[in-house]
Structure 1
Amino acid sequence: MKDLKDKVAVITGAGSGFGRELALLCAAENMRLVLADIDAAGLEGTQALLPAGTAALLQRCDVSQADSVQALAERTYAQYGAAHLLFNNAGVAVAGPTWTTTTDEWRWVLGVNLMGVVHGVQAFVPRMLAQQDECHVVNTASVAGLLSVPASSVYCVSKHGVVTLSECLHHELRAAGARIHVSVLCPAFVNTGIADSGRHRPPELSAANPLAEAYEARVRKAVRSGKISAAEVARITMDAVKADRFYILTHPNIKPAIEARMRDILDERAPTNPMP
């Protein structure tokens, strides 16, 4: 998709981080925006940064709930009659050893990170197919979807799921002869608000592992050390959409770790720790 002017971009997790930066870039392309987030105040903060005159529809949306995402799609098509660029971007994170993780943590993270993408695909792709326009779906995963990082099993499982879902979707759309393209975004550490995503955790899924605080402090330190900004990740992502590139690896220095994991599998040897 090279010509984005007047096209419609739908962005979940648009209240901060990558979502906010993607919204700014889409606005710069003169796209019409649909911005969704569970954080209504964050959405308003994003809207305040948009250029004057940008067409932007804001909706509070819990991507872990299928009916909430369906409502987002219904409002998008009622307002604009189309969606051309879908960013399934909303995400949360927890950290800690697998044996201390809680069922609540699994339900929360998988609900947002993985089922949020599933819900986005199910709500928008059938409508995109009916449009018969050129469209593009970008699913936000992580290098954690390509590696197995210690003390991140919940997060890694969710992001591995997003990667393989995206690959399956790509194959399915090609087999269907659809004009819908797919990308999967796999960044490494970037200074976004994901380390503090617990502030939006539902009270009914509040049980946290006893080591969460200590491990999440390490995650905050790691993301704040990221050498690539959220704005740069967004720019790389938009360039990939225009170039129709499937895998979006924003941190080239992580490729040796990915290669080592592939070699571990092919050689049937014990996995190499990507973060020794």
Structure 2
Amino acid sequence: ELNPQVNINSINVTDITENSALVTITGFSSQKTINFTVDKSVPINKVIENTNLGEIDINKLGGTYDEQLFKYFLKQLNSQLDINKINVINITTNTAKVKSNDTNIYTGEIDINYSRPVKSVLKNTELGLIRINGVNKPTEQEIKNKIKELNKYLENNINDFEVSDITTTNAKINFKRKDILSGEVIVTFISNINLNKIITNNNLGEFKTENLSNPTKQQIKNKLKEMYNNLDITKIKVENITNSSAKITSADETVYTENVKVNYSVSIDSLNW
């Protein structure tokens, strides 16, 4: 390559060492020692074949998502790697870059990826009271709003989360991109319903009573249960009863909120003289 005029078949190489060799050429009486440097370095992507480190849960390991942590996992997945000859830089939520710090050993650089568990980001999982607009359980958006309220740092990407398996007391949360945040978290809450979302018709019709007396609390509760079978009458109170109206309030603020005025008429069931 360096002496193209020489016929390669006439070259004899002897006394080879790590950095020199003796060269003679057939037909010539002289000889020459040549010096060289052997490049023993390996492209780093030939050593780091497993670039996906999987889920790394810092809560189990302790510490932080730093260079030493990634070196540890790289060594676990690529046993032949000399972690003293690399640097891990540009660490993000789900990626990092591995670069050689000794070009005599490794050359080039390579990107690695990993995921963090959702629970490492969503730390406040007890959401407390959620006042819902429906009649059975909170909506996905209502749960997201509560999560955002308790985890302010998620305000800008709350819609990247998914809510599923919603009940009246809990729901499952995961992240849309599993390569960034993996796994799931169960959040718990108490969903309380505005009474006016259940009692949508506040005309209870007619009550028959003795001597046109006011209906009893139990009569009004029974009528409400008849009209709204999803209403838990043990969680409500009946107040301010007259012969034409009453106020329905919550007996348990963790279940129902607000109050509703109901109307009715009274007719004679019997007369007692």
If asked which structure has higher relative contact order (CA below 8 Å, sep 6+), I would say: 1
TM-score, length-normalised on structure 1? 0.23
TM-score, length-normalised on structure 2? 0.23
Larger strand proportion of the pair: 2
Larger helix proportion of the pair: 1
Structure of larger gyration radius:
2
